Amino acid sequence: MLQSKLFPKTRKEPPREAESINHKLLVRGGFIDQLMAGSWTLLPLGWRVVSRINQIIREEMNAIGGQEMLMPLLHPRSIWGETGRWGSTKDNPLGAKEIMYQFKDMRGREYALSFTHEEIVMDLLRKHIRSYQDLPVAVYHFSTKFRNEPRARSGILRGREFMMKDLYSAHTTEADLMEYYDQVKEAYSKIFTRLGFDFRITESGGGVFTDKTTHEFQVLAEGGEDTIFYCDACGWGENREIFEGKAGERCPSCKKGKTIRAQAIEVGNIFPLGTWYSEKMNVSYTDADGRQKPVWFASYGIGSTRVLGASVEVSHDESGIIWYPQVAPFDVHLIELKAQNSKLKTDPKEIYKRLSEAGIEVLWDDRDKSAGEKFAEADLIGIPVRLVVSKETAENIEWKRRNSKKTELLSLRQAIDRVKKMH
Ligand code: ATP
Ligand code: MG
């Protein structure tokens, strides 16, 4: 991709209203644009990052038998009425009126914009599942979620419209459900490890989804909105919402480690929902003994746009973003410093071609600008490797990692090998 053609240009100043790091840096770098509070365009650079995040999630979902599909976002009131979630929490602890965008069309018919899909999946199961032989089922999609968030600050971490991967699984027994739930927990741990995060798994309440205990995946980050407690020795962790102890106390689980209090960003949440939804919506299967039984159900979410923001919150410096290679918008930032009155010894076009042929994604800064300006913008955008071709580099190229100050002269072959090793 030629940087001269990239839309839009970077900007030197953050938006005045921006408070969080991800908001400032993602807007300045040209990754996202705000339409109104909590509503963002993923610009070409931002969409590249989210696509890479989604691909990592997709691979791990497929590895545990998840089947990808796509469900509608406009839902009739009737389906939300079946579980009572159309209503307010005043009437029902799981009522979701406060968070749902609900409206009428010109004929007076009532709809909601999707804030989650449990009811929609239940309806699918009711239509397509008959016997125990049709189960288990695990389906997922990536799609927009709409939530009427009272405080839509924190940049892209909290949108009123955001992207989520949500997986739903249905089973014949509680044991089968819990076995799969543990598999998903493992898959989520793999995903967040691949994404480069330092994270903890915490127990938490189920909000408008369930009265059961759920598990959250929390990325340790100073700017995080959640307060969590975890053990420095075992895997125990709880969200402040449900933890009754204090930092520094003995771990309530292993009784050996110490309880640590930290700020964190919730990037994923998994919910063992049980039979509450299938009983309300009459979703059952015929067992081997011929009897009708309710389906056991769970749902599992990861906010991919929140992951984009969290990646910036945990990896940046005063000059800009430092992408982890696995989610970076490009693998290499090729910077051409134009030679005055003479041609460069190495042709940037040829380098671009050879990098691309090696399967490396390159942003090529072909613009007529000073080295200082180009380097500052490269630091802001944060691509993990910077390669410079100039008169000084002669036949070689100058290699620099975004997270290091050291520069080295390498042959193109060496540079390609190093980029390949990073993945
Ligand atoms: P929070 O407590 O942060 O409001 P939640 O617990 O209500 O989030 P879940 O219903 O658990 O959210 O959603 C699953 C995942 O979707 C979350 O772990 C998070 O990654 C993402 N997510 C939830 N709400 C938002 C939002 N408003 N903007 C961006 N991502 C979100
Ligand atoms: Mg949650």
Same domain as 256, residue 355: no
Is residue 6 included in any domain, yes or no?
no
> Residue with the nearest Cα to atom 16 of ligand 1?
303
Q: Of the ligands numbered here, which is closest to the C-alpha atom of 218? A: 1
Tell me, using a 6 A CB cutoff, whether residue 158 lines ligand 1: yes
Q: Let me know whether 396 and 305 are in one domain.
A: no
Residue 266 alpha carbon, nearest atom of ligand 1: 18
Buried b (16+ CB within 10 A) or exposed e, 238-255: bbeeebeeeeeeebeeee
Helix 21-28 to helix 304-314 angle (10° resolution) is 100
Please answer whether residues 300 and 188 qualify as being in contact, where contact means their C-beta atoms are separated by less than 8 angstroms: yes
Residue 5, domain member (yes or no): no
Residue with tokens 């072909």: 366
CA–CA separation, 197 and 224 (whole Å)? 13
Residue identifier of the C-alpha nearest atom 21 of ligand 1: 303
Tokens of 139: 């389906």
Q: Are residues 184 and 44 in the same domain?
A: yes
Residues 53 and 165 in one domain: yes
The verdict on residue 124 lying in a domain is: yes
Asked if residue 275 and residue 128 are part of one domain, the reply reads: yes
Q: Which atom of ligand 1 is nearest to the CA of 209?
A: 10
Torsion, Cα of 237, 243, 244, 245 (10° steps): 30
The residue contributing the CA closest to ligand 1 atom 13 is: 301
Do residues 185 and 119 share a domain? yes
117 lines ligand 1 (CB under 6 A): no
Phi, then psi, of 138 in degrees rounded to 5: -135, 115
| Domain coverage including residue 346 | 330-421
Examine the domain organization and report whether 200 and 348 are in the same domain.
Answer: no
Q: Return the ligand number nearest the Cα of 225.
A: 1
> What's the domain count of the chain?
2
Identify the segments of the chain with pLDDT beneath 70.
none
DSSP 251: P
Final residue belonging to a domain, choices 317, 340, 356: 317
Is the CB of residue 305 below 6 angstroms from any atom belonging to ligand 1? yes
Would residue 351 count as lying in a domain?
yes
**223 and 128 belong to one structural domain:** yes
Report the C-alpha gap between 330 and 363 in whole angstroms.
Answer: 6
Q: Is residue 358 domain-shared with residue 261, that is, in the same domain? A: no
Measure 216 CA to ligand 2 centroid, in angstroms: 6
| 310: in domain | yes
Residue 4 lies inside a defined structural domain of this protein: no
CA of 303 to the centre of ligand 1 (A): 6
Same domain (yes/no): 20, 154: yes
Q: Which two tokens stand for residue 257?
A: 């480690």
What is the Cα gyration radius of the chain? 25
Q: Is 28 exposed, middle or buried (0-12, 13-18, 19+ CB in 10 A)?
A: buried
User: Cβ neighbours of residue 54 under 8 Å, at least 6 residues apart?
Assistant: 142, 163, 165, 304
Residue with tokens 């509608």: 72
The CATH number assigned to the domain holding 365 equals: 3.40.50.800
Q: Is residue 255 part of a domain?
A: yes
224 lines ligand 1 (CB under 6 A): no
DSSP state for residue 90 in the 8-state scheme: T
User: What does the pLDDT read at residue 92?
Assistant: 86
Q: Is 272 strand, coil or helix? A: strand
307 with 342, same domain: the answer is no
Cα separation of 101 and 114, whole Å?
A: 8
Instruction: Give SS3 for 72.
Output: coil
Report whether 161 contacts 38 (CB < 8 A): yes
The domain boundary residue, chosen from 317, 346, 380: 317
For ligand 1, say whether the CB of 274 is within 6 Å of any of its atoms: no
Q: Is the CB of 149 under 6 A from ligand 1?
A: yes
237 lines ligand 1 (CB under 6 A): no
Query: Would you say 53 and 349 are in contact if contact means Cβ atoms under 8 Å apart?
Result: no
Residue 187: CATH number of its domain:
3.30.930.10
Does ligand 1 lie within 6 Å of residue 159's CB atom?
A: yes
263: helix, coil or strand?
strand
Which of ligand 1's atoms lies nearest the C-alpha of 271? 11
Give whole-number Cα distances, 280 to 81, 97, 114, 119, 217, in Å: 10, 18, 19, 10, 29
Task: Find out whether the beta carbon of 309 lies less than 6 Å from any atom of ligand 1.
Answer: no
Whether 1 is in a domain gets the answer no
Measured N-to-C along each axis, helices 348-357 and 412-421 cross at an angle, to the nearest 10 degrees, of 40
Q: Which one of 283, 317, 351 terminates a domain?
A: 317
What's the confidence (pLDDT) of residue 266? 98
Determine whether the shortest distance from the Cβ of 267 to ligand 1 is under 6 A. Answer: yes
Q: H helices of 247-405, where?
A: 276-281, 304-314, 348-357, 371-381
Q: At what angle do helices 44-63 and 174-194 cross, to 10 degrees?
A: 140
The pair phi, psi for residue 346, each rounded to 5°, is: -110, 130
Q: What is the pLDDT of residue 341?
A: 78
**Cβ distance 29 to 155 under 8 Å?**
no
pLDDT of residue 153: 81
Kindly state whether residues 64 and 201 are assigned to the same domain.
yes
Question: How much distance in Å is there from the Cα of 158 to the middle of ligand 1?
Answer: 8
